Amino acid sequence: MQTLPRIPATVRISPFDAGGAGHGRLLVEAGERSFLVSPAAAALIAALRDSGEVEHVREVMAQAQGLPPTEAEIAQAIERLPRTLFTPDAESEPDRLFLFRWPLIGDRQIGRWAATLQGLFEVRVVTLVISVAVALVGAALVTERFGVVPGLGSVGESLAVFALLVLSALAHELGHAAACVRLGVQPGQVGAGIYAIFPVLYIDVSRAWRLPAQARALVDVGGMYFQLLVILLLVPLLAWEPTRHVAGTVIAFNAGWVLFNLNPVFKMDGYWLLADLTGTPNLQQRAFRYLGSLVTSRASRRPEGTRRERVIYVGYGLLVLGYLGIVVSSAPGWFARYLLPGVTASATAWRDVAAAWAGSGWGDVLVRALQAAGQSLLVGLPVLVFLLLVGRSVATLGRAFLAR
Ligand SMILES: [Zn+2]
């Protein structure tokens, strides 16, 4: 049996007096949440909090139910406990930009794939991958040879780009899953959803909250690490003219997605990485509340904290400003280099639609219209991401600093 998940010492259990209504139940307080549980469940919670030893838990459960439980029964009983008990400090405010979720691939299948892929986290492999990536970036900078203006060519190429982007997204989620398995935690299911306006894949890694924060950091970077692997696999295709454009477009998208993912503003992988490496749950909320109280000099609202925490809050604030600075200042150059050619290509594609409309049959018009729409999306999506990033940052900063 794997080690049992521990419940932190901060979880409190006390008798619950409800004048008869909750008779015999106990009050369990974890962070800002509280639960009423049966005496047996309270005993289990106490056992997981005080020792976590399998034997100790077995004894406690044997006393409660009369028979010593099997390992499966222990696992089941633990599974029935509220998740927050294990992670009372977990981020309490979910990202409201996540609008819809649909499950796609079950946790068993994900677990199997992740088990096969977890070897990619071996130190030797990681060292090799990072060395190759650094060498490639260096070579690209020196020779300026890998630059491909992202765009959709023929219908076949467009479909290839789309398929490879979906596979890249799946690879990213499997990266999180493989990191979980590596650390002895079962990953959850993969689903599709809408984040703000963007279709995305997501994975349920809530069980990773049972890990110590520093170990969770591996789960945080796992997705981006696997995307880096996808990029490296595609690089050789840049050398071959027929695949150059598709590979270049997919690489550009993946690289851009990783950079976006690293942003400290949204609760995406970069933010979790930061929160876990510094061991600061609710980092954003706490940091902005602290910085806001500094700026508006409302000392009464200032959260208490150790010197280390205050350094982390200020560091986080500087990082947010720095990231925004880089994004905004590099935008004009980036627009000129990648976006203008894309806009031109879009315009041409739409002109082709018009020409086909005047001449050839419906099939041709439809194909060209689809291509033109795809091309426009390729240009429009990064612009939307940029606007969303800046807009959200301004709103977040504003809420933090102007809050009453
Ligand atoms: Zn991720």
pLDDT in tens, 129-152: 999 988 887 777 666 655 666 666
- Protein residues placing their CB within 5 Å of the ion ligand 1: 223, 269
pLDDT in the model for residue 222? 95
Report the pLDDT value the prediction gives residue 20, as an integer from 0 to 100.
44
| Ligand 1 centre distance from Cα of residue 223 (Å) | 5
Helix (H, G, I), strand (E, B) or coil at 93: coil
Pairing mode of beta strands 190-195, 198-203: antiparallel
CA 268 to ligand 1 center in whole angstroms = 7
For residue 110, the CA-to-ligand 1 centroid distance in Å is: 15
Average pLDDT value for residue range 245-259: 87
pTM for this structure? 0.69
Q: How confident is the model at residue 96 (pLDDT cuts 50, 70, 90)?
A: low
Average pLDDT of the segment spanning 68-97 = 73
- Ligand 1 centroid to Cα of residue 81, in Å, is 27
How far away, in angstroms, is 37 Cα from ligand 1 center? 35
Q: Is the pLDDT of residue 92 over 60?
A: no
Q: How large is the average pLDDT for residues 201-230?
A: 87
Q: What separation in Å is there between the alpha carbon of 79 and the centre of ligand 1?
A: 25
Ligand 1 center to residue 254 CA distance, Å?
12
Q: How far is the CA of 64 from the centre of ligand 1 (A)?
A: 41
Give distance in angstroms: CA of 188 to centre of ligand 1: 14
Q: Residue range 254-281: average pLDDT? A: 86
**Euclidean distance between the first and final Cα of the chain, in Å?**
51
Q: Which residue matches tokens 């677990």? A: 111
Q: How many A from CA of 34 to the centre of ligand 1?
A: 30
**168 Cα to the center of ligand 1, angstroms:** 11
User: Would you say residue 303 has pLDDT above 80?
Assistant: no
Average pLDDT over residues 251-267: 86
Q: What is the model's pLDDT at position 267?
A: 80
- HSE value, Cβ hemisphere, 13 Å, CA-based, for 155: 8
In whole numbers, what is the pLDDT of the chain averaged over residues? Answer: 81
What average pLDDT does range 322-340 have in this prediction?
Answer: 82
Does 138 or 224 have the greater pLDDT score? 224
Task: State mean pLDDT over 375-396.
Answer: 78
| Nearby residues of 267 by Cβ (< 8 Å), 6 or more positions away | 91, 95, 284
Q: Provide the percentage of residues in the chain whose pLDDT is more than 70.
A: 85
Q: What is the DSSP letter of 268?
A: S
Q: What is the CA radius of gyration of the chain?
A: 26
- Asked whether residue 325 carries a pLDDT value surpassing 50, the answer given is yes
85 CA from centroid of ligand 1 (Å): 24
Ligand 1: distance of its center to the CA of 243 in Å? Answer: 27
Closest CA to 383 of 322, 344, 339: 339
Q: How many angstroms is it from 262 CA to the middle of ligand 1?
A: 10
Q: What is the mean pLDDT of residues 48-66?
A: 83
User: Rounded to 5 degrees, what angle do the CA atoms 290, 85, 64 make?
Assistant: 155
Between the CA of 225 and the centroid of ligand 1 the distance, in Å, is 10
- Which residue, 185, 172, 181, is CA-closest to 221? 172
Residue 280 has pLDDT above 70, yes or no: yes
The pLDDT of residue 276 is 87
For residue 270, how far is its CA from the centre of ligand 1 (angstroms)? 9
Between CA 404 and CA 402 the distance in angstroms is 6
The stretch 304-328 carries a mean pLDDT of: 86
- According to the per-residue pLDDT averaged within each range, which of 145-149, 156-160, 224-228, 273-277 is highest? 224-228
**Confidence band for 284, pLDDT divided at 50, 70 and 90:** confident
User: Among the listed ranges 48-52, 339-343, 358-362, which one has the minimum average pLDDT value?
Assistant: 358-362
Beta-carbon count within 10 A of 354 CB = 12
